[in-house]
Amino acid sequence: MRGKMIGIAALLFVAVAGIGWLKHHTSQYDYIISQAAARNGVDFFLAKSLIYEESWFRSEIRGPSGEIGLMQITRAAASDFAAQKGFPPFQDDRLFEPELNIEIGCWYLEKSLDHYKNSPQPVLYALLRYNAGEARANNWLRHASGTPSPAGTSKETYYLSLVDFPKTRAYVRRILQRSRSHNFWF
């Protein structure tokens, strides 16, 4: 019995410590996110939800394909950003800096939202582009064009069902849910 109590106490401690860690990390970048989101015309909760999904607010993370930092910025996105803003190319190490990483990520998200502004679901397709690339997002949009969603199914649910990558579907669904609920605890 005593062993079970110690096990439960340890589990509870880990859970509480984890919640404290997550709460700290979900709020420590709020000011930077709000500023970058405002400058780029992006919803704060959408940007914050994307960061949560991409990196769990860990600025030092590197993705499997070389993506860097909080918003998992690619070298191509950083190069495009630098060229458009008239900056010299960034060294990879600079992309770990939260301010720069979030600025580029919000800029790229806005660019994606603008690209899909005339689509039936601009936010959904912008997130698909952010995760799977423009060619795939455009392909999924072509498949959805002119096809009405089945009765009783929301357009968003229907368009997501056309995405043939289960991980990408789940990624977009989680970001949309989190950005609407403002809930960073699931």
Residue 15, domain extent: 2-58+103-181
In a domain, 63, yes or no: no
Give the tens place of pLDDT for each residue, 165-179: 999 999 999 999 999
Give the tens place of pLDDT for each residue, 102-155: 999 999 999 999 999 999 999 999 999 999 999 999 999 998 887 777 888 888
Average pLDDT of the chain is 88
In a domain, 129, yes or no: yes
The predicted pLDDT at position 184 comes to 62
List phi, psi (to 5°) of 42: -115, 145
Tokens 């079970």 found at = 4
In a domain, 72, yes or no: no
Q: How far apart are CA 172 and CA 152, in angstroms?
A: 21
In a domain, 171, yes or no: yes
In a domain, 140, yes or no: yes
In a domain, 163, yes or no: yes
**Domains: count for the chain:** 1
In a domain, 95, yes or no: no
In a domain, 86, yes or no: no
- Which structure tokens are listed for 140? 């999924």
Own/partner contacts of 31-38, CB < 8 Å, gap of 24 or more, are 32/98, 32/99, 32/102, 33/102, 33/106, 36/99, 36/102, 36/103, 36/105, 36/106, 36/107, 37/106
